[in-house]
Amino acid sequence: MKRMHPAQLIALSALWLCACSTPPEAPGPRASSLPAATGAALQACAALKARFTYTQTSIDTSVPVAAGILTQGGKPLTAHCLVKGSMHQRKGSDGRDYAIAFEMRLPQDWNGRFYYQGNGGLDGNVHPALGALGGGPLTGALAQGFAVISSDAGHTGAQTVVFGAEPQARLDYGYQAVTKLTPMAKELIRAAYGKGPDRSYIGGCSNGGRHAMVAAARLGGQYDGYLIGAPGYRLPHAALAQLWAAQQFAPLATPGATAPHPLAPQGRIPDLASAFTTQERQTVVRAILEQCDALDGARDGLVQDVQACQGRFQLQADVPSCSGARDGSCLSAAQKQVIGALFSGARTANGQAIYAPFPYDSGLAAANWGTWKFVNSLALDPLAVGAVFSVPPGRVDPLRDDLGARLPLLSASNETYRESGLALMTPPGHEHPANLAPLRARGAKMVLYHGVSDAIFSAEDTRQWIDRLDRALGGQTADFARYFPVPGMNHCSGGPATDQFDLLGPLVQWVEQGVPPQGVPAAARGAGNPGGVNAELPPDWSASRTRPLCAYPSVARYKGQGPLDDAGSFACQ
Ligand SMILES: [Ca+2]
């Protein structure tokens, strides 16, 4: 047999990796790709403050930042220009001063691309415009040469959550900040480099993933690539489901056990973590792994075949039931009822669905899972539900709010709040996303990822969305949008997972070269990882375990030989 050149071997293995749920991809550029961006050098920085004019925009500072002043993953960041400013300064109907504050970081050595960094949570902070990627980021959009913008989405941290009572601030947070910032940012890039961006990308995780998904539905002409992490695309429903979970867990909490809470009358609330302790969560994880770990061919502490696991694992039968007092090794009947209902999806007392089911997975004993279910469900989500997503806005008592009465307030509007919480937060058409067909037709691409053990936004909700997209596009989704579940990962990072990855580079390759992403390398962050160590890695994992991230519905399956800590021992099938 003729000896193959190493490059041919790599090409062949890439083909093989791709030959799973979708037909093998032809190598090299394809007709569907858009012209690749070409770079340029920064022409102006300090002068931008005086020179750049755009409607409703003021530039406060524009200063050069030398290479190495900032680092990412232990590596010096490139020399760039930092521009700070704001758009639409105004006096709100509540008498407060509002603006959409932003910063842009414009690399000296620009790759010709624009990246809109969607931030998380309730926004309100201009996080550094680095476009950080994955857990313990080793790289980001700025490091890769993109011009990056970051904003507070129209309100300050101090205005969080009172901005929810100000109608325009609500709209800016929901979708209008990105609508206003995008054309301005492209003009600022033109002023800095002498040409606008050839290709534009938008990405983020959590609410940032929602921003990107909303942009796909509302601003399809403005962005060529969408990097959508843990998208809270039904954020008001997800937040209400958190209240539901808190109300379910509260009666299971140890009597007298309380936790600090700034909003509670006595400054303390029931300690929900005592309702489903770390030890009990570990018991459930052991049972899930017992049933599901080997479904992908390897007992390695990761459940790659997420879908098969949902059919296999039975909470009632597979987790020991307590015969006496709870001791961590079993669940009481009441606990099983609540946890089973939680994973089946929150419902009102009369059976109306509030939010999606959650998939059983190996990461639900991790710290971030507990923080969302036991702390944020009382401290953060009630504020968002009451102040930002309800019409009319009002105070919510997390443990006593009537969820059946609350649900309609998320879709209500009135003279003052002309768009409901759902309307302003949710990507239009998400129930049947046929409105994304033009985006596909013009060659744009979407890459989604989601930690399967995410406790706030359900990976199952994301899976259902990509299935709906596939139906809406007549089964033609794989050449336009791909979803990468990350087993074990909690909300955007963390948990027993390979959570360190760069999906932006593969997205650019897809958009500009026509090479669809598959088998994207992901790494665990063990001892010595320059992006920061993930303390929740199981002790029997190597510090540098790697896995391929596989496009749904393909699954990373063990080839039957090779080391368990090596991505090369797994194939997307
Ligand atoms: Ca496994």
Per-residue pLDDT reduced to its tens digit, 545-560: 999 999 999 999 999 9
- Residue 491 annotated as catalytic: yes
271 is known as an active-site residue: no
Whether 9 shows a pLDDT value over 60: the answer reads no
Alpha helix positions (H), 270-322: 278-292, 306-312, 315-318
| 371-387 tens-digit pLDDT | 999 999 998 999 999 99
Q: Which of 454, 461, 479, 499 is catalytic?
A: 454
Q: pTM here?
A: 0.94
Tokens of 205: 């995780």
CA 345 to centroid of ligand 1, rounded, Å: 25
Task: Spell out where 420-555 has E strands.
Answer: 445-451, 481-486, 500-501, 520-523, 546-549
What is the distance in A from the centroid of ligand 1 to the CA of 295? Answer: 6
Residue 241 has pLDDT above 60, yes or no: yes
Reported as type and span, the H/E element at residue 344 is: helix 333-344
Q: d(Cα 98, Cα 408) in Å, to the nearest integer?
A: 29
Residues near 34 by beta carbon (within 8 Å), at least 6 away in sequence? 199, 224, 443, 444, 511, 512
Residues 92, 180: Cα–Cα separation, whole Å: 17
Question: 419-454, pLDDT tens digit by residue?
Answer: 999 999 999 999 999 999 999 999 999 999 999 999
**386 alpha-carbon distance from chain centroid:** 23
Question: 111 CA distance to ligand 1 centroid (A)?
Answer: 39
Query: pLDDT > 70: what percent of the chain?
Result: 94
Give yes or no for a cis peptide into 438 (omega within 30° of 0). no
Calculate how far, in angstroms, residue 373's C-alpha sits from the geometric centre of ligand 1.
26
List the catalytic residue out of 62, 200, 491, 502: 491
In angstroms, the CA 339 to CA 319 distance is 11
DSSP output for 57-97: EEEEEEEEE-TTSSEETTEEPPPEEEEEEEEEEEE-TTS-E
Which value, to the nearest 10 degrees, does the dihedral of the CA atoms of residues 158, 164, 167, 169 take? 40
Rg (CA), the chain: 24
pLDDT at 17 over 50: no
In three-state secondary structure terms, 350 is: coil
Q: How does pLDDT run across 119-129, given as a tens digit for each residue?
A: 999 999 999 99
| pLDDT tens digits, 278-321 | 999 999 999 999 999 999 999 999 999 999 999 999 999 999 99
* pLDDT, tens digit, 9 for 90 and up, residues 164-192: 999 999 999 999 999 999 999 999 999 99
Q: How many CA atoms lie within 13 A of 236 on its CB side?
A: 28
Which one from 62, 86, 206, 458 is the annotated catalytic residue? 206
**pLDDT of 502 over the 60 cut:** yes
**Please, which residues have CB within 8 angstroms of residue 347's CB and are 6 or more apart in sequence?**
244, 341, 353, 354
**Residue 395 Ramachandran class (φ > 0 left, ψ -120 to 50 alpha, else beta):** beta
Cβ atoms 61, 86 nearer than 8 A: no
Kindly give the distance from the C-alpha atom of residue 34 to the centroid of ligand 1, in angstroms, as a whole number: 38
What are the two backbone dihedrals, phi and then psi, of residue 32, each rounded to the nearest 5 degrees? -80, -10
Element (H, E) at 14: helix 6-18
Distance (Å) from CA 451 to ligand 1 centroid: 16
Contacts of 170 (CB under 8 A, 6+ apart): 163, 164, 388, 417, 419, 421, 424
Would you call 488 helix, strand, or coil by DSSP? coil
pLDDT higher than 90, residue 267 = no
Confidence tier at 262 by pLDDT (50, 70, 90) = low
d(CA 135, CA 457): 17
Judged by DSSP in three states, 465 sits in helix
Q: Is the pLDDT of residue 532 over 90?
A: yes
Residue 37: strand, helix, or coil: coil
The three-class DSSP label of residue 288 is helix
Rounded mean pLDDT, 393-412: 95
Structure tokens at 285: 């994880």
Average pLDDT over every residue of 522-542: 97
Ligand 1 centroid to Cα of residue 558, in Å, is 8
pLDDT surpasses 70 at 12: no
Q: Indicate if 300 belongs to the active site.
A: no
| CA 302 to ligand 1 center in whole angstroms | 4
| Side-chain-side CA neighbours of residue 230 (13 Å) | 29
Place of tokens 């925009």: 57
Give every CB contact of residue 319 below 8 A, 6+ residues apart in sequence: 283, 284, 287, 330, 331, 336
pLDDT band at 257 (very low <50, low <70, confident <90, very high): confident
